[in-house]
């Protein structure tokens, strides 16, 4: 999986958008965006809808990439990572059903 920052840089470059313009849209400075694109700073979840709208890409794709990386970092050293993921899926299903009632 490519780094989310790399993906954002590719989107920006394909749109021929200067770093300063995207930084302004995201309300961050250029150096922060540069670090984000290089993977030296984490992407903020709240940036994803703005990025999706700006580059007309699927927000779901960005969120899935962001969240899967977050989960992977949390579980990378866990011996029972796959079991944890299965249990988490069951918990999500349970909580979702509970909310609908």
What does the pLDDT look like over 58-99, one tens digit per residue? 999 999 989 998 898 899 999 999 999 999 999 999 999 888
> Comparing C-alpha atoms, which of 7, 19, 23 is closest to residue 65?
7
| 3-state class (DSSP) for residue 28 | coil
Long-range contacts of 12-17 (CB under 8 A, 24+ apart): 12/37, 12/55, 14/55, 15/54, 15/55, 17/54
What does the pLDDT look like over 18-42, one tens digit per residue? 999 999 999 999 999 999 999 899 8
């Amino acid at each position: 999986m490519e780094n989310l920052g790399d993906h954002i840089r590719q989107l920006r470059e394909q749109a021929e958008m200067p770093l300063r313009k995207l930084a302004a849209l995201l309300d961050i400075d250029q150096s922060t965006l540069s670090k984000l694109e290089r993977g030296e700073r984490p992407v903020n979840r709240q940036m994803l809808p703005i990025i999706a709208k700006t580059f007309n890409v699927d927000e779901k794709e960005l969120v899935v990439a962001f969240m899967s990386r977050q989960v992977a970092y949390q579980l990378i050293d866990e011996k029972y990572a796959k079991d944890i993921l299965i249990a988490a899926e069951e918990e999500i299903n349970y909580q979702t059903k509970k909310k609908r009632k």
